[in-house]
Structure 1
Amino acid sequence: MSNVVGWLFDPSGLTPHGFCLLWEPGLIWTYALSDAVIGLAYFSIPVALVIVARRRSDLVFRPLLWLFAAFILLCGTTHWLDLLTLWVPAYGLGGVVKAATAGVSLFTAVALWQLLPQALTFPSPAQFCETNEALRESQARLAQSQKMEAVGQLTGGIAHDFNNMLQAITSGLTLLERRISEGRAGEAGRYFAAIRQAAESAGRLTNRLLVFSRLQRLQATVVDPNELVRGMKELIERTIGPSVRLELRLGDKVRKVLIDANQLESAILNLAINARDAMPEGGLLSIATAERALGPAELSDHEGTTPGDFVEIAVTDTGEGMSADVLPRVFEPFFTTKPTGVGTGLGLSQVYGFVRQSGGIVLLESEPGRGTTVRLYLPGNKEIEPAASAPKAPVSAGDQLVSETGKSVLVVEDMGIIRAQMVEVLRDMGCTVLEAKDGPDGLRILQSNVPVDLLLTDVGLPGMNGRQLADAGRQLRPGLRVLLVTGYASKALEEAPLAAGIEVMAKPFAIDGLASRVGDMLRR
């Protein structure tokens, strides 16, 4: 072995390659520069192949990439050895490298021919495009089908709940008419109560649907999350009962949020009710607040949410938890894991819709037997402070009737029954009431010389909507007070911020609430 090594690497008696070139500087440097450049290029190519091989472990020809990398690396080495032998007769070392190159090139060639049949089956770019297009169409169909299923579930749930409410109303009215015709009017009170309860349930149902669809107009105010949760403690404890222990873990100096306080209270109460139902044998309900900074990475799956500082409200229970197949559906309207007749399946969907409409996100973590945690992330800001407002003195019904006498209100509502009811209550207040069935009819009154102190209009009017009527009316009568009533926050209310003197009231509303609101606006 020592004789072989000596024979390979002993350069004595050998002459450099440059001697064969008769030591012509032009030829020598042509060879030297060419071999140097080729060697550098050969060394850069394996680096690219190695990166592809490491990052694309799914490629079927990945082993071939490693062979190609070794082959090209050895080829580059031979060129650099050719550069060396221009001045140093290291032919033995060059021979070893060439032998290694020959071996690797042989393996590479064999592997390439073995892979060739598979390579020929690879789709062409045109076939890739066709396949991708077919996949997109198919996905548009694992999405339209899902949407239709969700719509079917949604409409079915709405129909079920509304039919129950309508049944209560129609049956109550029938019994009410029967008792009055029998001269038993004294029993009417309980039927009125049942009808009112059913109507209020319908109103809550539509409100939840609007919150879920993010079409409800939120009344945002500055809220201290800790104070709000602390103020709900007694209500939550009464709701969850004695078998569930409530624990509040409120963070120090948690920033305030601009939020609809009533909707936030409703969301927390819904989560508390869900937690109670998940702990039939009792357990621990924890409500915690903290400040969190969420960046683009945390919000990558939540389009439309701006990175920044958030307030986290986490509601955790030690209940039954949910399985992995249930979790993707928990925010769907009318989806519920509760028995039939227990809950509407709108609690979590309402929470989700409200938080998303407020610029936040909802995360839910759950595991069977280990409980559930729902985290509400609400945009926070330490700088916002509540605007000071003077307290309003209570107004009795008698004072209201007197104070509104002589005031003129224009009522624009396309549904005759609702318009008649509003007109009646306003006249009971002592107001002079003008009526219009649509926007153009109302605009003609505003264009006349008839005095109008307040415009009360529905938003969803046919043709000219209520917002357009209000804008036109204020151009004709600057400073005209306007009360917009709407069953949902339509696009008309999103076009521009409402000017001072224009307010919004959501349907369905209590008729006494309408009277109070109109009275407040007329007295300002």
Structure 2
Amino acid sequence: MTLEDANLQAISNDRIPLCRTGTGPLKANQAGLAEQVQEFFRGLFNKSEWPARWYCGSWSDFHGWLYIISDILIWTAYFLIPIFLIRFIQSRKDFPFPKTIWLFVAFILLCGTTHLIDALIFWLPVYRVSALVRFGTAIISLITVYYLFKIFPNVLLLRSVSDLQREIDERTSVEEKMAQKNSQLQSFTHILSHNLRNHSSNIALLADFVDESTLTKDNEELFQKIKIVSKHLNGTLDDLSQVIKIRDNHLEGELLNIREVTQQVLGVLDESLHASQAQIEMDFQETEITFPHIYLESILMNLISNGIKYKKDGEHPVIKLRFYRDERGFKTLEYSDEGKGIDLTLHADKVFGLYKTFHKHEDAHGVGLFLIKNQIEAQGGDIQVFSEVDAGITFKITFNENA
């Protein structure tokens, strides 16, 4: 009688059947490890060496189907969980430990597959496939444990939801206080500027009513000094008024042709350009920019007039204007000249300061670069400066047309 016949007879007699067909471990133990491995993979899907699980042991319908349904339900859950994890990692590109998610995906899928194979073995005795999948599950499990151990110190550094909420609340509170202080400061600045302007205008008006011919020589000299101080005071208030307007008002940009605006500015500066015999070079790879016209005109006016004022003694100004799109896709205006330059090791933090001058000149007021920086930043742009003494200066202005 064969082993299969014995199993069938055992089943018919309500006895537990033998669960091994073929030679089983007795033959395997007699073979070397290499032969066992070869035999394992050659018979990976061989179903003739074992009976299906229904025919191995004494299964009642309830017991068997309870086992099968449980395994299938576990496999279903193990299959669906990775779908949510994959959607999460695809939606949250900023997740700090993406490898963790992918390892858990592999681990959960393999665990679920072992349950699915256990259910199938009731009909298909693929025990070798089951062993191979379990080995793969063990490897991935150990890799996952190692990776978790490796990142565990960093995981502990992650802030909790309550910590993040506390930080958001603190920042919101600080921003509200800053906004309130900024509003108060703006109101104070407007009042101060308005009141001072009234007084300075009155002083200038009263000075115009004075008949200087009736003054003594000493009083006339003193009065001239008063008029000069009054003129400077009005000029200072005009500068402050421009700064306040820039900071308070975000002007809407308009589509401009930079070559046309540049030509308009050069037309205004025509006399100074001819007198200094300035050389203007333009390289406009881009032609259009969305920006407030009054700001762009002011920026070009201040840069070019500075190039004329601060040229090297005894030389003609050489001014270069480039307009192009940088590697990030932002439109960039680059101004450079071959003038006196600035020592940035000493003055880097003062270049754009109000009333900061670095060379003696009768028309130097230290307002132009301050206005340029405020006009650019008010529109969301950025300005950089590169310079050396007697080696000229370069300003790189990056525009943000989406601001």
Compare the two structures and name the one with the higher helix fraction: 2
Query: 1:371 corresponds to which residue?
Result: 394
Contact 2:373 2:383 in 1 (8 A): no
- Residue 78 of structure 2 contacts residue 108 of structure 2 at CA under 8 Å; is this kept in 1? no
Aligned to 1:40: 79
Q: Secondary structure at the match of 1:286?
A: strand
Partner letter of residue 134 of structure 2?
Answer: K
In the TM superposition, 1:119-198 aligns within 5 A as 124-137=160-173, 180-182=214-216, 198=232
* CA deviation profile, 1:180-229 (whole Å, cap 9, x unmatched): 144999999988995896577357435534543456999xx999865554
Unaligned runs of 5+ in 1: 300-311, 380-524
Match of 1:269 among 289, 301, 305: 301
Look up the equivalent residue of 2:104 and give its one-letter code: F
Partner of 1:3: 35
Against the structure 1 CA distance between its residues 7 and 325, is the aligned structure 2 distance closer, same or farther, given a 3 Å change threshold? farther
Alpha carbons of 1:53 and 1:67: their partners in 2 closer, same or farther (altered >3 Å)?
farther
| Matched residue type, 1:372 | F
Note if 1:233 corresponds to 2:253: no
What's 2:133 paired with? 97
Whole-angstrom distance in 2 between the partners of 1:118 and 1:313: 40
Taking the aligned partners of 1:213 and 1:6, their CA distance within structure 2 comes to 80
State the SS of the aligned residue for 1:14: coil
TM-superposition CA deviations, 1:422-464 (whole Å, max 9, x none): xxxxxxxxxxxxxxxxxxxxxxxxxxxxxxxxxxxxxxxxxxx
SS in 1 for 2:130: helix
- Residue in 1 that maps onto 2:280: 246
In the TM superposition, residue 371 of structure 1 has moved relative to its aligned partner by 1.2
Give secondary structure in 2 for the equivalent of 1:371: strand
- The answer for unaligned runs of 5 or more in structure 2 is 1-32
Cα shift at 1:272: 1.5
Deviation, 1:372, is: 1.2
8 Å contact kept, 1:53–1:66: no
Alignment of structure 1 residues 458-477 onto 2, 5 Å: none
Write the mapping of 1:412-451 to structure 2, written as runs, cut at 5 A. Answer: none
Once structures 1 and 2 are overlaid, which stretch shifts more, 201-210 or 265-274?
Answer: 201-210
Equivalent residue, structure 1, for 2:358: 338
- Whether the aligned pair in 2 keeps the contact of 1:247 and 1:285 (CA below 8 Å) is yes
Does 1:75 pair with 2:107? no
1:56 maps to 2:95: yes
Conservation of the 8 A alpha-carbon contact between 1:364 and 1:374: yes
CA distance in 2, matches of 1:245, 1:90: 87
* Preserved contact between residue 71 and residue 105 of structure 1 (Cα < 8 Å): yes
**How many pairs were matched up?**
343
After TM superposition, give the deviation of residue 91 of structure 1 in Å.
Answer: 0.5
- Please tell me whether the aligned partners of residues 363 and 375 of structure 1 are also in contact (alpha carbons under 8 angstroms): yes
Identity of aligned residues (%): 15
2:384, 2:396 within 8 Å by CA — same for their partners in 1? yes
SS in 2 for 1:316: strand
Distance 1:286 1:68, change over 3 A: same
Contact 2:287 2:323 in 1 (8 A): no
Equivalent in the alignment of 1:454:
none
Change (3 A) 1:203 1:323: closer
3-state SS in 2 of match to 1:366: strand
Secondary structure in 2 aligned to 1:201?
Answer: helix
Task: Give the letter for the 1:13 counterpart.
Answer: E
**For residue 14 of structure 1, what is the amino acid of its counterpart?**
W
Code of the residue aligned with 1:129 in structure 2: it is: Q
Higher-Rg member (1/2): 2
Whether the 8 Å contact between 1:211 and 1:354 is mirrored in structure 2 is no
1:347 aligns with 2:379: no
Confirm or deny: 8 A CA contact 2:323 2:334 kept in the other structure: no
- Return the alpha-carbon distance in structure 1 between the equivalents of residues 355 and 308 of structure 2: 18
Matched, 1:212 2:251: no
For the aligned residues, what is the CA RMSD? 6.3
> What's the CA shift for 1:114?
8.9
2-structure distance, mates of 1:337, 1:42: 66
* C-alpha contact (below 8 Å) 2:257/2:287 kept by paired residues: no
Distance in 2, matches of 1:205 and 1:53, equals 49
Deviation at 1:15, TM superposition (A): 1.6
Report the CA distance shift for 1:79/1:189 in structure 2 as closer, same or farther (over 3 A). Answer: same
Return closer, same or farther for 1:216/1:2 CA change in 2, 3 Å cut-off. closer
Q: Indicate which of 289, 301, 319 corresponds to 1:285.
A: 319
Q: 1:80 to 1:328 in 2, by over 3 A?
A: farther
How far apart are residue 14 of structure 1 and its match?
0.7
Q: Distance in 2 between matches of 1:121 and 1:203?
A: 52
Question: Quick one: distance in 1 between partners of 2:345 and 2:329?
Answer: 21
Residue 82 of structure 1 aligns to a residue in which SS? helix
User: Contact 2:68 / 2:119 at 8 angstroms: preserved in 1?
Assistant: no
Q: How much has 1:72 moved relative to structure 2?
A: 1.6
What amino acid is the match of 1:74? Answer: L
On the 8 A contact 1:214/1:353 being kept in 2, the answer is: no
- What secondary structure is seen at the aligned counterpart in 2 of 1:15? coil
Asked if 1:17 is matched to 2:53, the reply is yes
